[in-house]
Amino acid sequence: MSWCSRPSAWKLALVFALAAPRSARAQGWRETQLWAVLALSRPAFTGFGAGLAWRDGGRTRIAAALAGGALGSAGPAARAEIVGHFLLDPARTRGDAVYGGGGLAVLMDEHGRLHPYVQLVLGAENAPSGPRGTFVEVGVGGGARLAIGLRWRKRNAPRR
């Protein structure tokens, strides 16, 4: 039995997702992104995709992204990532800010085989408190990893 087919792992993840206080969720940010990713391994993965993220009112962001692309000359492949980021200067409305993080990535090859990876990232983004900005990330996870993209942000309004 693999780690991802164990019901207890999925139940634990659901408990953590639901445990966030409602007031904290209402004061955060929602982000969407378009991105391109290159993972230099043998064979290398190149892809393009979209992602969603949630930021709290402080310095943390949870992001999930999916990219479709090619695995070298081996054929089509897909890469899914879920990463937690720690933002060093989240209140900047202009200029660049640095963040770091870690998470999991899963690569699916053309035969449907899954290749899981632990990944670490270091990134810089433009205007983390602005309505949109660009980002670039370097890291490791399924090979040396480079990602670039564009993020759109919207502050969550408190519900009444």
Per-residue pLDDT tens over the stretch 35-62: 999 999 888 999 999 999 999 988 999 9
User: How far is residue 151 CA from its own chain's centroid?
Assistant: 11
pLDDT of residue 77: 96
pLDDT of residue 157: 60
pLDDT of residue 12: 56
pLDDT of residue 23: 47
pTM > 0.85: yes or no: no
Q: What would the two tokens of residue 41 be?
A: 């391994």
* Beta strands per DSSP E along 23-156: 29-40, 45-55, 60-71, 76-87, 96-108, 114-126, 132-140, 144-155
pLDDT of residue 74: 80
pLDDT of residue 25: 47
**pLDDT below 50 — which residues of the chain?**
1, 21-25
